[in-house]
Amino acid sequence: MSNTPVDERQALLTKNDGGTPIVQEYGTASSSGTSTPSIVKPSAINSPSGTDLLWILGGLWSAVFLGALDTTIVATLVSPIGSYFQKSHQASYLGTSYLLSVCCFTPLYGIGTLLCGIATSMEFLIFARAVAGMGGGGVMTGRISVTDIIPLKQRGLYQGLANILFGLGSGIGGPVGGWINDTFGWRTAFLIQIPILVLSAIVITFKVNIKLPETKQTARQKLARIDYAGSFTLVVCVGSLLLGLSLKTGEDLKWSSPIVVSLLCLSAVFAVVFVLVEAKWAPEPVMPMRLLTMRTPFFVAVSNFCMSCYAFSMLYNVPLYFSAVRLNSASESGLHLLPNAVGLVLIAVSCGSVFAGWQDDAKNRKTVLVDDCFSSWSFVISRLDLFLERVYAPFAPLARYCIWRVRHEFPHHFNSYALIASVDKKDYAVATGISYLFRTTGQVLGVSLSGALVQAVLVSSLRKGIQGPDAEKIIQSIRHSTAIIPTLDPPLRVVAIQSYQRALTTVFTCQVVLAFVLMLSCLPIEENPLPGSHEEQEQQERLRRERNGRVAA
């Protein structure tokens, strides 16, 4: 046996029992007397100077800010853009095309935004939004890239700042988009983003040089790990479903129409193929089935899906309510969202980060209970806002939107903590990917399905209220442009407003049901100790003592 002296810094495993550790701590001298660290500190890989760090953060976060700003700007401009092209019945495609491509692709955001600004038709604009969405997914990676240049101890602070910036962009998008539309025209809302994106691209190109740890994999091996089949089948499945429903409601086709039936059947077939690909053939699936068979990851995924579907259906239908029912201009609609921009975004996002951070040293039961409380509150307040709509209509939409924003911010943090606490460390990245997959899919379906429902109820209501030889022409005019409503004769105007109100009330009622499902999906989430918490350390110590006791026995 070796008599080589050891201390608490030396590795327990040695090579050939000769006193030379296989793994040494950073800076620990080997038995030969040389100080050759075998582990390089991560901070030594990427450590920009203070000035460079400011440039890098400015370049990365400006793109993140614009990505958030764009989402709510477009939500506010959906009605004016639809009226401009006389195709309001296709306006929900502006959100659907963008979010679907965000869900599946990356980096062409700048080109897509420029194409939006010069679009000459609704069809071209929808295509441009899809191109922008391909880059929208890449824009958001700026928040992830920051973690490679910020020390671990400071990441919480910088992540909180990024969240506040993202929330601020989301909040002011509505008021700014409405003001730009009424002052300069809706095209300006897209074109003003281009200079900032160009500056961001230049800064990132010359200042961001993130070095990642070397791996033995070649570029071809890394590309081979991508789940191409899973991504393709998911796109076809969701895209076919959305297109079939959109043609049924937007183009007024019958359920028995061959193209509608074909698209819905195609969606069902590719849904089955997607599950088979993920379960049996994908080397690194985008949706690993083994994790979805676990209790907490499954219900966190369902919760994220319902939450995003609920939130984005609200985001795209609240501005429509103000423009079609209240007959507000785009600027006025945006001003109704100003309290959300000035106060609630900063409070909700920053408090969400701080409150979630507090969970680090707390029991995970608090995480689950708080998430359940917010989910329950979401269900109750969703039912209450329908009552407010009838009793005190002027206050209801503002109250609904403000409460929705707070409801939307908090549980995302808690769900993330519950998910991480329920899986092994090697599955952190995969579990997070599942969470975002369900979240983005919920966003797409929330916008598209709510838009399809609005059009279906709207057409039915208009046909009941408008009769006569020119009835169909008037109905199509109301569907194609909300701007025509104030110019209608008083009786027709009342019918149009009531029809839109009935359609939107139907959507908000469906949100009540969705909020109830969201509440139920949070209840089964398990209590698990968070990684690095005192509870986890106590649990590990208890297991160690139990093992030692069995060995002694």
* DSSP letter for each residue of 114-152: HHHHT--SHHHHHHHHHHHHHHHHHHTTHHHHGGGTS-H
**What residue has token string 């609609």?**
333
Continuous segment of H or E residues that includes residue 479: helix 471-480
Question: Which has the closest alpha carbon to 394: 437, 473, 332?
Answer: 332
**Roughly what angle, to the nearest 10 degrees, separates helices 396-422 and 345-358?**
20
What share of the chain in percent tops pLDDT 90?
4
- pLDDT, residue 7, reads 45
Q: In Å, what is the CA distance from 30 to each residue of 1, 8, 335, 550?
A: 18, 14, 67, 36
Confidence of residue 31 (pLDDT cuts 50, 70, 90): very low
Query: Residue 227: pLDDT above 70?
Result: yes
Phi, psi of 472 (to 5 degrees): -65, -35
- pLDDT, residue 37, reads 41
Confidence of residue 265 (pLDDT cuts 50, 70, 90): very high
Give the mean model confidence (pLDDT) for residues 160-166: 71
What share of the chain in percent tops pLDDT 70?
58
Give the tokens for residue 195. Answer: 């200079």
Q: Tell me if 109 sits within 8 A of 67, measured CB to CB.
A: yes
- pLDDT, residue 496, reads 92
Give the tokens for residue 90. Answer: 């296709």
Give the mean model confidence (pLDDT) for residues 212-239: 77
Please give the model's pTM, rounded to 2 decimal places.
0.68
- pLDDT, residue 26, reads 37
Integer Cα distance of 327 and 311 in angstroms: 23
- Neighbouring-strand partners of residue 14: 21
Query: Residue 443: pLDDT above 70?
Result: yes
Query: Residue 322: pLDDT above 50?
Result: yes
Question: Per-residue pLDDT tens for 122-150?
Answer: 777 777 777 776 655 555 566 666 666 66
- pLDDT, residue 273, reads 93
Identify the DSSP state of 185. Answer: -
Question: Per-residue pLDDT tens for 43-76?
Answer: 444 566 667 778 877 777 777 777 777 777 777 7
Confidence of residue 470 (pLDDT cuts 50, 70, 90): confident
- pLDDT, residue 542, reads 65
CATH number, domain 302-533 = 1.20.1250.20
- pLDDT, residue 156, reads 60
Q: In Å, what is the CA distance from 209 to each residue of 56, 64, 153, 212?
A: 9, 18, 21, 10
Task: Kindly report the length of the chain.
Answer: 553
- pLDDT, residue 495, reads 92
Integer Cα distance of 470 and 468 in angstroms: 6
Number of Cα atoms under 13 Å in the Cβ half of residue 143 = 19
Integer Cα distance of 60 and 199 in angstroms: 10
Mean pLDDT score across all residues of the chain: 70
- Strand segments (E) across 415-536: none
Sign of CA pseudo-dihedral 440, 445, 446, 451: positive
Instruction: Give whichever of 206-210, 222-226, 369-373 has the largest mean pLDDT.
Output: 222-226
- pLDDT, residue 268, reads 93
Question: Per-residue pLDDT tens for 342-399?
Answer: 544 554 454 444 444 444 444 444 444 444 455 445 445 544 544 444 444 454 555 5
Domain boundaries, the chain: 1-39, 302-533
